[in-house]
Amino acid sequence: MVSIMEDPEEGWGRFRNLPIQRKLFFTIALTLGFAILVASSALLIYEARSFRPRTLEKAESRAEMLAEILVPPMEFDDSATCAAYLRTLRHTPDISSAVLCDTGRNAIASYSRTAGDPFPHRVRTLPTGPTFGPHELMYLLPVSDHGHLLGYLALREELPSFLERLPQYGIMLSVIALSLLALAAMLALVLKHTVTAPIVALAGIAKAVAEDKDYGQRVKSGGKDEVGSMTAAFNMMLDALEQREHSLLESRALLQSVIDNSMSIIFVKDPEGRYILINRRFEDIFHVSLQSVRGRTDRDIFPEESAEAYRAGDLRALAGGRPVEMEEQIPQDDGRHTYITVKYPLRDAAGKVYAVCGIATDITQIKNYEEQLRQSQKMEAIGRLAGGISHDFNNLLTAINGYSMMALQSVEAANSIHGFLEEILKAGERAAGLTRQLLAYSRKQILEPRIWNLNEIVMDIEKMLRRLIGEDVRLTTRLAPDLKMVKVDRGQLEQIILNLALNARDAMTGGGELIVKTGNAFLDGAYAATHPEVAAGPYVQLEVSDTGSGMNRQVMSHLFEPFFTTKEPGKGTGLGLSVVYGIVQQSGGSISVSSEPGKGTTFSIYLPTTPVSGTSQPEGGKLPEGGAFRGKETVLLVEDEEVVRRFTRHILEAQGYAVLEAVDGVKALEAIAGHAGPVDLILSDVVMPHMGGPELAERLRKESRDIPMLFISGYADGGAASLGPFADGNDFLQKPFSPYNLAKKVREILDRVRTSEPES
């Protein structure tokens, strides 16, 4: 028994593993067999114990009935009648012999089923009552009438043996067995529908739920008994599991969506560095799938150097037991990218570390922006320096060029000094051109759109371009002789040519040719339809071409974006072409580019023509003969640079004007307050200590002093915007200015003011 219990594959263990229906079948079969055995035993015992009493009872009953019948013939000693009555026993097969005796036990009449039956001779020795033999029952009954003994009646009944009675027992047992079988079948059917079928269905669905995670199935409820309660509880459990599974799937889908749509790389590795999970960003960047990397390490995916660095970061997070942040270099199709990676350990419910998770965010663009910002700040500092130098240099050039012009006007042309003065003036004008280029570079120039011949600007800047592009690049200019005029700011146009030339030089690392070409063009409606910033009509074309490395379509699509550059870090700000684009747009023109890798690049700029022919608009030099620009008005000159102030006063006084001086805006207010007469014009520098020109204009406006102003400057921080609300409605003269331009501008303003005054 012990061995059976210990071995689950034998005996009771095997029975325990059987399906419940087979268990029930075996249980009912064993119960039925046991019931039949018990019934058979009970029947045999019952028969064994009740056979003689029943036989005796039946014999007594027959004997008493027969005795009552025999009383009358015995009283009349009618033996024939007695014999006739005895012969009626032949209808009772159980009684084999019968003898009727007198009181002396002498036979009066007898009956025997077989001849030669010795029973009548045994009557004399029979005791009164029943006598059982091996196979017979003999019964001697006194026959009396009202207590008067008439004689004796002896009956002999043959008893069947056990084997003879066995068929009778078999029938009885068969009936019992069939009854039990029917009962068992009914019981099995009832149990099947009420117990086993629900349990089997319950087990099947439980298995499906466990193996297939199919939470949508339900067991039919059979009632309110224990099985029904268990079924209902199981269905309730499935409802809860289905809801939990649905919520879990939704949460998992949401989490997966968040992970997959993240722009950061997300991954999970086990403590040995084998990948467990990666997101879609990881797959897209490294061209792998979760199935292909699961179970693999960084050594299987990345170069050894990178893999070692990644593994070192994992170990830091695992060893520290808390998040760590590090900067990693990750190779991609377009080069190495810089990522900020946060790695942290994952713990199970028991607190044991089972994985490390990493989130890597690409900061390459931010790094580039930081570098661009540093470069931009550096360029801004250089620009401020250039602007400051230009400011001081323009003040000096104003005096140098102005006095040179005045000296030339007072010296005869035959005098040898006249030639020297002309050379000084030419050098000064070249220096003025250089300051304009510095201001264009630093973007500190106040815009002055004027009418120009583009060829003259190209020729003036040609020498500077040759120095910039280097000896290994050949400069070729192709200038159209009949070029139309354009109205642009010269400094801005020089900046366009300068920026395009510098870009072309960088694209020709092994040398090449830079071609600057001008010409007339007509942009038709088809071109205007694809370039909505321009209208159809005549334009002047400026074309800058190089024989450099060229560009692909992807680079060209970002070409004019601020801070976009293909140069190495520290080699470019990415602002040059965006500035070019802005200048062209501001001038009402259009710019297009054509390029192919290895075939060079061509920039085509179209500027609208102006209805003026001939040469560029002259700036003027010497003062004209006569009194064209003379006057007697009072002019307040506000200038902090003494050499400029002295030169300007000399020009104004030479033209007949009364001049008041001030070194800044504060002194100018004092001069106005201390002057007895009116001040007809204020000629003021823009940038001065204590109070500049725009601040002076603001104070005068608040005091309701309506005095016209002429601003002069060679540099303004922020360009024309530095004039603030006085950029419009006031005049401006760029340093260095000539005596002619100064006298002309002052006279124009005073005449305009006088014309606009109402007549009294």
Strands 658-662, 634-638: pairing is parallel
Look at phi and psi of residue 600 and say left if phi exceeds 0, alpha if psi is from -120 to 50, else beta.
Answer: left
CB 567 within 8 A of CB 502: no
Single pTM value for the model: 0.44
* Banded pLDDT at 1 (limits 50, 70, 90): very low
Looking at the chain, the whole-number percentage of residues with pLDDT higher than 70 is 82
- Does 565 score more than 90 pLDDT? no
> Over the range 697-711, which residues count as b (16 or more CB within 10 Å of their CB) and which as e?
bbbbeeeeeebbbbb
DSSP 298: G
Instruction: Name every residue whose Cβ is closer than 8 Å to that of residue 419 and which is 6 or more positions away in sequence.
Output: none
Task: Name the helix (H) or strand (E) containing 723.
Answer: none
d(CA 610, CA 488): 10
Q: What are phi and psi of 151, to 5 degrees?
A: 160, -160
pLDDT greater at residue 164 or residue 292:
292
Secondary structure string (H, E, C) spanning 63-78: HHHHHHHHHHHHHCCC
For the cut 80, the answer to whether the pLDDT of residue 345 exceeds it is yes
Residue of 426 and 318 predicted with greater confidence: 318
Q: Write the burial class of residue 570 (CB in 10 Å: 0-12 exposed, 13-18 middle, 19+ buried).
A: exposed
User: Which two three-digit tokens encode residue 101?
Assistant: 């005796």
91-145 pLDDT per residue, tens: 888 888 889 998 888 888 888 888 777 788 788 888 888 888 878 888 888 999 8
Structure-token pair, residue 632: 């007697």
Question: 328: which 2 tokens?
Answer: 């990693």
Between CA 358 and CA 372 the distance in angstroms is: 29
Comma-separated ranges of CATH 3.30.565.10 domains in the chain: 447-617
Tokens representing residue 145 in the block: 């009438």
Whether residue 178 contacts residue 35, with contact meaning beta carbons closer than 8 Å, is answered with no
> Which of the two residues, 545 and 36, has the higher pLDDT score?
545
Closest among 714, 475, 503, 486 to 584, alpha carbons compared:
486
What are the tens digits of pLDDT across the range 5-25? 445 556 666 666 667 767 777
Instruction: Please name the residues in contact with 462: beta carbons below 8 A apart, sequence gap of 6 or more.
Output: 475, 477
**Contact indicator for 622, 740 with CB cutoff of 8 Å:** yes
Residue with the larger pLDDT of the pair 12 and 291: 291
Contact 665, 690 (CB under 8 A): yes
* pLDDT (0 to 100) of residue 666: 92
Cis amide prior to 198 (ω within 30 degrees): no
Of residues 169 and 354, the one with the higher pLDDT is: 354
Tokens found for residue 457: 């600007």
pLDDT value for 5: 46
**How many residues would you count in the chain?**
760
Q: What fold is seen in the domain 262-362? A: Beta-Lactamase (3.30.450)
Other CB atoms within 10 Å distance of the CB of residue 548: 24
Q: 3-class DSSP state for residue 176?
A: helix
**Residue that the structure tokens 């000896």 belong to:** 471
CA–CA separation, 208 vs 198, rounded Å?
15
Q: Is the pLDDT of residue 570 over 50?
A: no
Instruction: State yes or no: pLDDT of 564 exceeds 70.
Output: no
pLDDT digits (tens, 9 = 90+) for 668-725: 999 998 898 899 999 999 888 899 889 999 998 888 888 899 998 876 444 444 554 4
556 pLDDT above the threshold of 70: no
Question: What's the whole-number mean pLDDT along residues 215-243?
Answer: 75
Q: Give tens-digit pLDDT for 473-527.
A: 898 999 999 999 998 878 778 878 888 888 888 888 888 898 999 999 988 877 7
Would you give the distance in Å from CA 25 to the centre of its chain?
59
Least confident segment among 22-31, 86-95, 504-513, 568-577: 568-577
pLDDT of 519 reads 93
Q: Given this model, what pLDDT does residue 355 score?
A: 92
CA distance 225 to 232: 10
Residues of the chain with CATH 3.30.450.20: 36-159, 262-362
Average confidence (pLDDT) over 610-616: 60
Rounded distance between C-alpha atoms, residue 747 and residue 734, angstroms = 16
Asked whether residue 572 carries a pLDDT value surpassing 90, the answer given is no
- The DSSP string of 424-445 is HHHHHHHHHHHHHHHHHHHT-P
Rounded Cα gap, residues 596 and 545, in angstroms: 12
CA–CA dist 714, 734 (Å, integer): 6
The ranges of the chain annotated as CATH 3.40.50.2300 are 634-756
Going by C-alpha positions, the residue among 714, 137, 154, 662 that lies closest to residue 398 is 714
**CATH hierarchy code of domain 447-617:** 3.30.565.10
Instruction: Count CB-CB contacts under 10 A for residue 196.
Output: 19
pLDDT score recorded for residue 57: 84
CA nearest 406: which of 414, 395, 398? Answer: 398
Distance of alpha carbon 204 from the chain centroid: 40
> 396 vs 32, 292, 433, CA distance in Å?
132, 74, 14
End-to-end CA distance of the chain: 141
Distances (CA, A) of 165 to 62, 160, 179: 22, 7, 22
Q: What pLDDT digit, counting tens, does each position of 392-426 carry?
A: 777 777 778 777 777 777 777 777 787 777 778 77
Average pLDDT, stretch 588-612? 85
Question: For the chain, what is the mean pLDDT?
Answer: 80
Distances from the Cα of 451 to the Cα of 324, 486, 550, 619, angstroms: 64, 6, 34, 11
> Higher pLDDT residue, 586 or 85?
85
Task: Decide: 699 and 638 in contact? Cβ < 8 Å.
Answer: no
CATH number of the domain located at residue range(s) 36-159 in this protein: 3.30.450.20
Residue 325 neighbours by CB under 8 Å, 6+ apart? 340, 341, 342
CATH, domain range 634-756: 3.40.50.2300
Residue 389, classed as helix, strand or coil, is helix
The residue type found at 342 is V
